[in-house]
A = this chain, B = another copy of it.
Amino acid sequence: MDSIRAEIISIGNEILAGYTINTNASYISQELMRIGLPVGWVTTISDEHDAIMHALDTALKRAKAVLVTGGLGPTPDDITKKTICEFFQTEMVFNAEVFEDVQNFLRTRGVDLNRANRDQALVPAAARIIRNKMGTAPGLLLQKNGVYFFFMPGVPAEMKYITSSFITDFLAKELRLPEVHNRLLRTTGIAEAKLYERLKDILDLYPDCQVAFLPRHIGVDLRFRLISNEQKDIHRLEQFVKAVEERAAKYIFTDRQIELEERLGEILVEKNLTLAVAESFTGGLLSSMLTDVPGSSRYFLGGAVTYSNESKMRLLNVQEKTLASHGAVSEETVLEMVSGVQEHFASDCAIATTGIAGPTGATPGKPVGLCYIAARYKQKTAVRKFHFGTDRIINKKRGAVAGLEMLRRLLLNI
């Protein structure tokens, strides 16, 4: 443990009780990683004097920066601020500037000031105030034995604002963190082990370059990282990334922190194309993922979720004889679905899915996880058969992503 590290302390009984998942810690970790300050410890404790004192004291001994979330809300029983004063041997004072911020914040929302809001302006005298445009509790910065302590509210939007508008820049500068160069390549449609095999000889050629394989349900992220400000090192990182990019070109959908549905949306906008989808296996998830993207109404015309044979015939013109002779889960059916939805919506592109999402519904020769997916761009069609697993929710996700990816490749001709 030579390198300097940060510690995150999450204060909150809802997290300890398990009702709230600690996504704040994950956000802060990623932000600090980005500036080259790894997190060594995440500690979750209750809103109690002894627990807070002990956690601050432990962190003081091992971390260089400590980011504390929670316990600063407007509820009267929050004892975090009192404990902060004790730990830093300072006293609570009324801060007029904070009070003005609180008043302004409430005024723009048409909310009346109450006693609890007024108390937000009471802050430890030794603290530097970090303004919080997203709420009424300010961020606080205190120092002890050369360690920086930041206190923030636990509300995600407020924590994110304070972290990204102040803390990361402050720490990068004050701790003179070395330059970090991060690169990202997001892949889909290839398993981690297969991807590793494909890249192995390149990895061997660049033993000095770091890359992490991070599997997600929808694919594998490659995260490259270099700590150096030497021009030749940076150049070598670029070469390494380029070599990986060329070798795995087909599977890489972006080098940015965006999802596949956003990337596909960008391609559709660039090419001025429209899209419609027909879903059985994915049950609406494909549409929902596409419409999660702001502005998707520019290219997404809509979709049909056809969970019954009747609806496949009525909405998508799937032929009764196709269903009778090949079944709803078949290549023949998915091909009629994809043409049918393209025609109905008069769209340039279409995606269709049919299969057995599970956990029940298997028939002889058609196991749970069997899925047919088709993508269509004007008159060109791609169709594939997949064998996913037995988890219904994961199957839907994998099917939706496979459909998006098939259309992406069809549009880019790869």
**A279 proximity list for chain B (CB < 8 A):** 284, 287
| Interface-centre pick from A14, A19, A277 (highest chain B CB count, 10 A) | A19
Q: Closest CB of chain B to A315's CB: distance in Å?
A: 7
Taking A17-B39, A38-B17 as contacts, is the C-beta distance between A307 and B291 under 8 angstroms? yes
Interface assignment of A135: CB less than 8 Å from any CB of chain B: no
Q: Among B283, B289, B315, which residue has its beta carbon within 8 angstroms of that of A344?
A: B315
Dominant SS among interface residues on chain A: mixed
Interface assignment of A175: CB less than 8 Å from any CB of chain B: no
Q: Among B39, B284, B361, which residue has its beta carbon within 8 angstroms of that of A284?
A: B284
Q: Closest CB of chain B to A353's CB: distance in Å?
A: 11
**A305 proximity list for chain B (CB < 8 A):** 277, 284, 287, 291, 302-305
Interface assignment of A392: CB less than 8 Å from any CB of chain B: yes
Taking A294-B359, A297-B361, A304-B305 as contacts, is the C-beta distance between A17 and B29 under 8 angstroms? yes
B44 near A25 with CB under 8 A, answer: yes
A359 to B28, CA, bound (A): 25
| Chain A interface size range | 35 or more
A19 near B30 with CB under 8 A, answer: yes
Interface assignment of A16: CB less than 8 Å from any CB of chain B: yes
A310 near B301 with CB under 8 A, answer: yes
A297 near B307 with CB under 8 A, answer: yes
A31 to B19, CA, bound (A): 11
B17 near A288 with CB under 8 A, answer: no
Interface assignment of A179: CB less than 8 Å from any CB of chain B: no
B33 near A41 with CB under 8 A, answer: no
Interface assignment of A243: CB less than 8 Å from any CB of chain B: no
Taking A284-B286, A302-B307, A303-B284 as contacts, is the C-beta distance between A17 and B45 under 8 angstroms? no
Q: Which chain B residue lies CB-closest to A223?
A: B19
Tell me the chain A residues, 43-76 only, with Cβ under 8 Å from chain B. 43-46, 48, 50-51, 58
Provide 15 A-B residue pairs closer than 8 Å at the C-beta atoms, listed in order of the A residue: A10-B42, A16-B38, A16-B40, A17-B33, A18-B26, A18-B28, A19-B30, A19-B214, A42-B42, A283-B291, A283-B296, A284-B305, A292-B392, A301-B308, A303-B304
Chain A interface residues toward B at CB < 8 A: 1, 10, 14-23, 25-31, 33, 38-46, 48, 50-51, 58, 214, 221, 276-277, 279, 282-292, 294-297, 300-308, 310-311, 314-315, 344-346, 357-361, 392-393, 396
